[in-house]
Amino acid sequence: MKFIYFISDLHLSKESPERTQRFIKFLRHIENKTSIIFFVGDLFDFWFEYKYTIPKHYFSILNQFVRLRDKNIEIHYLPGNHDFWLGQFFKDELGIQTYDNEWTGELFGKKFYLFHGDGVAKRDIGYRFLRRILRNKINLRLFRLIHPDWGIPFARWVSGSSRHYTQNLNLDDHSDYIEFARERFAEGFDYVIMGHRHNPLLHKENENVYINLGDWLYHNSYAVFDGSNVQIKYAQNNKSDEQGK
């Protein structure tokens, strides 16, 4: 069988051309090994969908998505706290299925719960309030009125501040996320997969597994499901599956 890949927190941007090219090489390395890819938020450091405009510096990765689509690879894209302004572009132009929040479903008889993870930490009270403001439809319409040459740089500045805040958290404290995963286990899910914390983790309780996908800023980490088990792996030297946990 072909593997199912789960990836999050790449934070691709104009300032990260090396990371973008490294990730494109990774996708080309796995394209004959996979049938499904899940992006679990923050693929981009900032994404906002205007009616007629997309950021030109994302051309190379968007072109790679066309290549994957033409190879009949199924792509699912969940929003993160940096790229939740997803409209119809990915679905209509690239054949990528996008979601408003979470993804739940069965893969080879196992029940999966996927969510980026922003707002799960109990201390993120301020962020949860800000999230409601940023995702308000009226505010989105108002932002769309700003010319992209002004709106995108401002949003990237805000996005960078948010990323630095995340990186300064106690990344070793997964307790709130594990508690959140346990609640999903009680609902009948076998696997809970999240990102956001930029710190890879595989936590097993009986037959249930919680995974944090880590990031591609420091770890080049991702998860792979082989039909029976999910493992965290690390891409090195533009190759995948070199190290597993």
* Residues 113-140: tens digit of each pLDDT: 999 998 888 776 555 555 666 666 776 6
- The architecture that CATH gives domain 3-244 is 4-Layer Sandwich (3.60)
- Which pTM was predicted? 0.85
Please report, for the chain, the start and end positions of each structural domain, with discontinuous segments joined by +.
Answer: 3-244
- The rounded distance, in Å, linking the Cα atoms of 28 and 21 is 11
DSSP conformation class of 190: S
What is the tens place of the pLDDT at every residue in 181-237? 999 999 999 999 999 999 999 999 999 999 999 999 999 999 999 999 999 999 975
- Map residue 197 onto helix, strand or coil: coil
Radius of gyration of the chain (CA): 17
- The rounded distance, in Å, linking the Cα atoms of 158 and 22 is 25
- The rounded distance, in Å, linking the Cα atoms of 14 and 156 is 10
